[in-house]
């Protein structure tokens, strides 16, 4: 296929709109179902690059959950604990941990379930039935993958009254070395960002703490690869092979860190015993449960009752007090943080320390690098300077 006509561009008034190759050649993808839109394809193509890079770096299947051209979550396909299965609403999926690609999407969706509502999904590997069963019951716009099992494809084609967008991409496709885009009628050209993100970027450790465990190194790579396809400024916190908090598109570095760390704190609190013990009425939808859990964790008992969220539960919840939350979060450690550009001040390090960050990776190059390193040393953090900026716009 040499072009795909789109319903409209970013907005309904932006017509006409289409997808095509600049050289007039064949598109490296095929629409198997539905009618993906302009933003759907932007999400799909960025998300595909992310999962392909994750798979290449870790040699493990990967998945991403994209919204508005930034990831809400990204993860490797490692098995889920019982607690994570409950937190991500997949404890009833038979054979989950036998399917790496299903584990990858359960984790990617579980990073920030509120933001993943209506996501576009990317899988590095063939979508199997187990993964399709997870996707089938989530609110999602579409999926891109290199292939689909026939039974998985049948399941996915039932979503959204048969209008779920399903894209199959050629996994061997490589873009040209130069890319262009137009803004206000003016054409920009630049080399395609094919910079590899691998262990070599983590060799320059500049802190007193030099001990970088293999798991932490993988988490740092997960965070950096995620950032390569996240609207800048951006910061990503990762743990156990998945992004757990992404701060995207902020104008200041510390606001990126605050946003990402706040999301990571919520991710951890979804694993709190009192959260896992919540019992919803049987007919309560998944999106309503996500919103109720957010209210449960954020607002405290008075605001929770005022919002009438308690009507969704089989019985009155055992609320988490502010002190309990503080104590729970204070016990966190081993979280990895990547930044797409340097830290201009130590304030970002201080906020990261409060969310259990032990390992950091950033390009370096600030006039206050020494202050930032000293702050890491004060908190016994390890910091690697990659020398590679990862702005994405």
Q: Which of 177, 214, 315, 393 is catalytic?
A: 393
CB atoms within 10 A of CB 117: 18
DSSP class of residue 48 equals H
Q: Which of 55, 67, 239, 325 is catalytic?
A: 67
Which residues is 167 bridged to in the sheet?
Answer: 31, 144
Tokens describing residue 186: 């003016």
Tokens describing residue 264: 């990571």
Rounded CA-CA distance 294/217 in Å is: 30
Q: Which of 68, 208, 271, 379 is catalytic?
A: 68
CB 340 within 8 A of CB 233: yes
Please list, residue by residue across 249-270, b when 16 or more beta carbons sit within 10 angstroms of its beta carbon and e when fewer do.
bbeebbbbbbbbbebbbbbbbb
Q: Is 151 a catalytic residue?
A: no
Q: Comparing C-alpha atoms, which of 97, 27, 109 is closest to residue 65?
A: 109
Q: Where are the alpha helices (DSSP H) in 99-228?
A: 100-110, 129-136, 150-156, 214-228
DSSP character string of 311-357: GGBSS---PPPHHHHHHHHHT---EEEEESS--SSTHHHHHHHTTTE
Q: Output phi, psi for 71, to 5 deg.
A: -75, 135
Q: Is 67 a catalytic residue?
A: yes
Q: Which residue reads 């395609």 in tokens?
A: 192
Q: Which of 233, 239, 263, 272 is catalytic?
A: 233
Q: Is 40 a catalytic residue?
A: no
DSSP character string of 51-101: HHHHHHHHSS-EEEEEETTEEEEEEE-PPPPHHHHHHTT-TT-TTGGG-HH
- On the question of a cis peptide bond just before residue 233, with omega within 30 degrees of 0, the verdict is yes
Active-site residues, by number, are: 67-68, 233, 393
């Amino acid at each position: 296929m040499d072009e795909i006509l789109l319903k409209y561009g970013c907005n309904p008034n932006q017509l006409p709109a289409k997808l095509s190759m600049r050289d007039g050649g064949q598109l490296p993808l095929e629409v198997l179902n539905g009618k993906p839109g302009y933003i759907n394809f932007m999400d799909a193509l960025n998300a595909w690059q992310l999962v392909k890079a994750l798979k290449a770096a870790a040699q493990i299947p990967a998945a991403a959950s994209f919204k508005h051209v930034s990831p809400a979550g990204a993860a490797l396909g490692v098995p889920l604990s019982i607690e994570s299965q409950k937190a991500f609403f997949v404890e009833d999926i038979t054979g989950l941990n036998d399917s790496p690609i299903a584990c990858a999407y359960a984790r990617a969706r579980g990073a920030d379930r509120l933001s993943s509502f209506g996501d576009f999904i990317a899988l590095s590997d063939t979508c199997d039935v187990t993964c399709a069963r997870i996707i089938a019951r989530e609110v999602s716009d579409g999926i891109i993958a290199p292939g689909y099992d026939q039974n998985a494809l049948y399941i996915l084609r039932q979503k959204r009254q048969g209008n779920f967008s399903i894209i199959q991409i050629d996994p061997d496709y490589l873009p040209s070395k130069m890319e262009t885009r137009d803004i206000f009628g003016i054409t920009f050209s630049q080399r395609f960002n094919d910079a590899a993100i691998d262990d070599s970027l983590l060799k320059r450790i500049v802190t007193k703490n030099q001990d970088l465990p293999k798991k932490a190194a993988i988490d740092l790579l997960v965070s950096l690869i995620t950032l390569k396809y996240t609207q800048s400024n951006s910061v990503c916190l990762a743990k156990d092979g998945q992004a757990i908090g992404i701060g995207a598109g902020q104008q200041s570095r510390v606001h990126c860190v605050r946003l990402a760390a706040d999301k990571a704190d919520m991710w951890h609190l979804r694993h709190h015993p009192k959260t896992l013990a919540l019992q919803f009425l049987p007919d309560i939808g998944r999106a309503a449960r996500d919103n109720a859990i957010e209210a449960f964790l954020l607002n405290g008992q008075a605001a929770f009752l005022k919002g009438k969220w308690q009507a969704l539960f089989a019985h009155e919840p055992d609320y988490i007090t502010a002190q309990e939350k503080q104590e729970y979060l204070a016990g966190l450690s081993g979280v990895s943080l990547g930044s797409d550009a340097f830290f201009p001040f130590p304030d970002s390090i201080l906020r990261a320390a409060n969310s259990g960050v032990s390992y950091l990776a950033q390009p370096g190059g600030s006039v206050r690098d020494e202050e930032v390193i000293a702050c890491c040393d004060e908190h016994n953090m390890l910091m690697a300077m990659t020398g590679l900026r990862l702005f994405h716009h």
